[in-house]
Amino acid sequence: MLEKQSKAPAFTLMDQQGKLVSLSDFEDQTIVLYFYPKDDTPGCTTQACSYRDHSDEFKKRNVEVIGVSKDDVKSHARFRDKYNLNFTLLSDPDLNVIPRYHVWVEKNRFGKKYMGIARTTFVIRNGIIEEIFENVSPKNDVEQVLAALDKLN
């Protein structure tokens, strides 16, 4: 399990345009790295649109928002275009990074067990995990993150 004040696991993944994005690209910056289950599903759309709608507040704080799921680059591009999302979506279809953040978990839905992403948000500053929000509500995630960012500054 990752803990606050620990070093964030490094990553390099493709974004919705097929460009490689690495944690090291944000060395002197604060990022919100949020893991979500699936593009264009109700909860994930609510969460993504909330980040979109609060983008000015993140810009004011010089914070970059990045969403990560197992969906491929094409799916991310469609999702981003459909909802006019204004932040980066990273694709991890081979599960190279998601398990390193300990968000690949066994889930149980209607008695059926399967593996999936636990909706989790990390606030990372200068490569160090400052905050971790586990099992976040898609509706309340952004408010929790903004409040945490205000406490960090």
- Provide the residue range defining the domain that includes 136: 12-152
Question: Phi and psi for 76 in degrees, rounded to 5?
Answer: -60, -40
Residue 152: band (very low, low, confident or very high) from pLDDT cuts 50, 70, 90: confident
Q: Is residue 2 part of a domain?
A: no
Residue 1: band (very low, low, confident or very high) from pLDDT cuts 50, 70, 90: confident
Q: What is the mean pLDDT of residues 56-67?
A: 96
Q: If you ran DSSP here, which 8-state letter would residue 115 be given?
A: E
Q: Is the pLDDT of residue 62 over 80?
A: yes
49 is catalytic: no
Q: Is residue 3 part of a domain?
A: no
How many domains does the chain contain in total? Answer: 1
CATH number at residue 63: 3.40.30.10
How far apart are the C-alpha atoms of 111 and 82, rounded to whole Å? Answer: 33
Q: Is residue 5 part of a domain?
A: no
Mean residue pLDDT across the chain? 95
pLDDT in tens, 93-105: 999 999 999 999 9
- Of the residues 23, 44, 65, 129, which is catalytic? 44
Percent of the chain with pLDDT over 90: 92
CA nearest 88: which of 128, 34, 43? 34
